[in-house]
Amino acid sequence: SDNKRTVWSLEVDYNLLFSPVYPPHPRTIDEDWQALQLQRMLDMRVNPVQGLSAKWDYEKGQWK
């Protein structure tokens, strides 16, 4: 009985020490969010000379 208690105690200690607890991922990591953000940047024509909007063909609706 004492041996089982020791093994259980070591397992609990191991889980507490080596199982990191992370907060939930931010919503900006989600692929849907990134796609919406990209579309928003294109709609706003962000950095039209050398940036993202310069590489988008607005007439065809696709990347150049």
pLDDT, tens digit, 9 for 90 and up, residues 4-41: 666 656 666 666 666 677 788 899 999 999 999 999 99
Q: What is the model's pLDDT at position 40?
A: 95
Query: CA 36 to CA 57: how far, in whole Å?
Result: 18
Q: What is the model's pLDDT at position 6?
A: 62
Query: CA 41 to CA 59: how far, in whole Å?
Result: 16
Query: CA 23 to CA 39: how far, in whole Å?
Result: 28
Side-chain-facing half-sphere of 61: CA atoms under 13 Å: 1
